[in-house]
Amino acid sequence: MDRRHFLLTAGSASLALASELRASEPAPAPRLLFLIDLAGGNDALNTLAPHTDPAYYRARPTIALDRRTVLPIAPGQALHPSLRPLMPLWDAGELALVQGVGCTGGSVSHHRATEILDSALLEDAPLQTGWLARCLSLHDGIRHAATQALTVSSDLPGPVHGLPRCRRLADEYPENVAGRFGFPQDVLGCALAQACAELLSGSDAAVVRVALDGFDTHENQPSAHAPLLASLAASMTALRSALSAMGRWRDTLVLTRSEFGRLAHENLSAGTDHGNAGIQLLTGGRVVGGLHGRALSFDALDARGAFVPAVDFRSVYASISRDWLGVSPVAALAATPPLPGLLHA
């Protein structure tokens, strides 16, 4: 589909945006990496549920998903119904789900687990540089960019800590910025729309980092988790539409991250407590869609009832470094091997 046809038929970008895009001349731009942090510890088991496994319903008698409402995508596995807007990406082969992502020897402290996630280093030392900052410092094009990264809705640069030209956008968004780009009028939608406005205005940033808070679901998880996943799905779909309209979707990669998953069994407050292995969602024009890693298994729980990781989170980073940025992961991520088959060339 060419850009003009997309603009006439997509409907998710406003007429004002379409007019701007038709008037602008396409220019060479770096590949884009969007990081969406699901702050608090997203529950992987109710994001991608084993909806035919009796052990799932025994472990979660009140918070397990209703098997009549889930979105089956593979034998015995189904997405949370709030993720329905992502089904076109799944059907198009542009959505990857990396199962069992975690860290052996990590932490169940939000602060410490986030440090590990951002630095990709297990050593507890102050002022660790971000894993992505180390990768980008080795990229000939990006390291000379006027703006290397944009951060929105987050006070800390996290994975881009140490980049000399990382710009934080204001949390007060221009009026109707979300509607202009076809995003939902919520925190995540406004943050991503603001980033798209910067890119449309000519920013040469290669990385955009945003955060969606609220995933620390210790109590009443069903009522909290569903709207968060709905916001994520709506915004990821809108991002695809907006960047397609800009002619940049083919060279965009979107990655969700969360500091840890949740325990297998629900607690006494209809919630879940801090666990380990979780799930990461990736989408983009070069993503190898489908299931990656290994499904969470009730036969692989640690002493606390946390799922044991099947995929080292740093292997996803290594894949992004090698296959997306074109940077050897050895220099930035030590000896962690990339996760194979995640991205097309």
User: Is there a domain that residue 80 lies in?
Assistant: yes
What whole-number distance in Å separates Cα of residue 41 and Cα of residue 56? 19
Contact between 99 and 47 (Cβ < 8 Å): no
In the predicted structure, residue 71 carries a pLDDT above the cut 90: yes
pLDDT digits (tens, 9 = 90+) for 146-180: 999 999 976 678 999 999 999 999 776 777 889 99
CATH of the domain at 206: 3.40.720
Higher pLDDT, 24 or 91: 91
pLDDT value of residue 176: 83
Report the helix count and the strand count for the chain, using DSSP H and E.
Answer: 12, 12
Number of structural domains found in the chain? 1
CA dist 171 → 51, 154, 187 (Å): 39, 9, 9
pLDDT digits (tens, 9 = 90+) for 295-321: 999 999 999 999 999 999 999 999 999
pLDDT value of residue 153: 73
CA dist 106 → 130, 273, 306 (Å): 17, 15, 12
Q: What is the pTM of this model?
A: 0.91
pLDDT value of residue 333: 86
pLDDT value of residue 28: 56
User: Is there a domain that residue 100 lies in?
Assistant: yes
pLDDT digits (tens, 9 = 90+) for 175-222: 788 999 999 999 999 999 999 999 999 999 999 999 999 999 999 999
Residue 14, CA atoms < 13 Å, CB-side half-sphere? 14
In the predicted structure, residue 332 carries a pLDDT above the cut 90: no
At which residue do the structure tokens 């660790």 appear?
128
User: Is there a domain that residue 24 lies in?
Assistant: no
Read off the pLDDT band of 16 (50, 70, 90).
Answer: very low
Helix (H), strand (E), coil (C) string for 184-229: CCCHHHHHHHHHHHHHHCCCCCCEEEEEEECCCCCCCHHHHHHHHH
pLDDT value of residue 35: 98
- Token duo for residue 214: 């609220």
What whole-number distance in Å separates Cα of residue 255 and Cα of residue 278? 14
User: Is there a domain that residue 298 lies in?
Assistant: yes
Give the contacts of 28 (CB within 8 A, at least 6 positions apart).
Answer: none
What whole-number distance in Å separates Cα of residue 160 and Cα of residue 257? 14
What whole-number distance in Å separates Cα of residue 241 and Cα of residue 250? 12
In the predicted structure, residue 61 carries a pLDDT above the cut 90: yes
User: Is there a domain that residue 41 lies in?
Assistant: yes
User: Is there a domain that residue 343 lies in?
Assistant: no
pLDDT digits (tens, 9 = 90+) for 180-189: 999 999 999 9
pLDDT digits (tens, 9 = 90+) for 96-146: 999 999 999 899 999 999 999 999 998 887 778 999 999 999 998 898 899
pLDDT value of residue 331: 80
pLDDT digits (tens, 9 = 90+) for 263-278: 999 999 999 999 999 9
User: Is there a domain that residue 277 lies in?
Assistant: yes
User: Is there a domain that residue 318 lies in?
Assistant: yes
Residue range of the domain that includes 200? 3-18+32-333
- Token duo for residue 151: 């951060």
- Token duo for residue 250: 């083919």
